Structure 1
């Protein structure tokens, strides 16, 4: 079902969701004006700019998200220069071919977050990135060419093909790298629930599709990126 038809079906069902402008107005009232809501939201990178990002930087960003999961991000921030050094700059080929001796050295290395499952996931993501880059020319090429209108499909692909890239990890990594998209934070989910799009954090295919369709409707209405829309939705809910 197209986003437009999905919206019409909701109207006919008597549960029309608010327009993007209405949600923006709610956020503006909470935050002290439209400019206060929209200023400072980064513009997503173009497909070509994403394609030009070296594969090692994708691996580094995924690794950062994996290492931060479940611990203080400040800890990882402080360790990051040493983590980069321990993983040899996240050279994709080198990490993909990690020997058992190097693996054992890493999980005993105080410079990093010493979690065997996380270190193994980083290696597995190096293999994943290398395979995609071989097929497409670069990992960023695949990410850049993925349509924003199927951002949910991109998240599912990362979760399915990557290692420990499900949940918010993949979405946050993509935002940090400049890919247009949304993050289903507690506040964003709360707004989607308030609009009748979903009734809880989406886990089923149908619920995820409903989320994507809603974002596509708001994107068509506003001409803004999914990134901006996501940030506006988050700011429209009392913390």
Structure 2
């Protein structure tokens, strides 16, 4: 496939292109994946997504493939060992946030049945499919991300500001922000 037709942000490296072409914007209902992307988006704050993708396997190893129960059970010693190992961004609060977010996710699972049910209830379990023609049309945040961010914070999640949440909603397919010219836009995929 001609990579020049895909969203411009994904053309910077093979890893970014692969992520864009196989994951980004595809609706997910898998709790571990939803939890992983929430934490990776939070870790990305202030950094580039390319850096986070380059450390993704390290994150998956360090945080037990983002198994929510295993992350919730991490001890302070475990978190310090993860920081010292250097496979993830060494920001102590971002590392601690994975454990904090796992505890919050467990409560969400108890209340809603799954993290997926919680995430998708904000859009009546339907993806929002935008018809954007230019990258400049894509906002950093919107009313939905502000609403979801407030609710996540109220439930104890960390590193979930409205900009991070907008990126998260794009990543897990709640929002399809592929440009309409991109072959991976919902209207263009033939799977």
Give the conservation status (yes or no) of the 8 Å contact 1:86–1:111: yes
Inter-partner Cα distance in structure 1 for 2:25 and 2:171: 11
Structure 2 unaligned regions, length at least 5: 1-20, 129-142, 181-191
CA gap 1:43/1:74 in 2 versus in 1, 3 angstroms: closer
Structure 2 equivalent of residue 80 of structure 1: 56
Structure 1 equivalent of residue 147 of structure 2: 153
Inter-partner Cα distance in structure 1 for 2:78 and 2:154: 26
Name the one with the larger helix percent: 1
Structure 1 equivalent of residue 83 of structure 2: 107
Tell me the SS of whatever aligns to 1:163: coil
Residue of structure 1 aligned with 2:105, choices 101, 126, 129: 129
Give the conservation status (yes or no) of the 8 Å contact 1:55–1:129: no
Structure 1 unaligned regions, length at least 5: 1-39, 181-226, 233-239
Tell me the SS of whatever aligns to 1:113: coil
Structure 2 equivalent of residue 184 of structure 1: none
Segments ≥4 residues shifted beyond 3 Å? 42-45, 147-150
Aligned length: 139
**Alpha-carbon offset, residue 54 of structure 1:** 2.3
Confirm or deny that 1:171 pairs with 2:166. yes
Tell me the SS of whatever aligns to 1:108: helix
Confirm or deny that 1:62 pairs with 2:26. no
TM-score w.r.t. structure 1 length? Answer: 0.52
Inter-partner Cα distance in structure 1 for 2:42 and 2:26: 23
Structure 2 equivalent of residue 29 of structure 1: none
Give the conservation status (yes or no) of the 8 Å contact 1:66–1:164: yes
**CA RMSD, Structure 1 to Structure 2 (Å):** 2.6
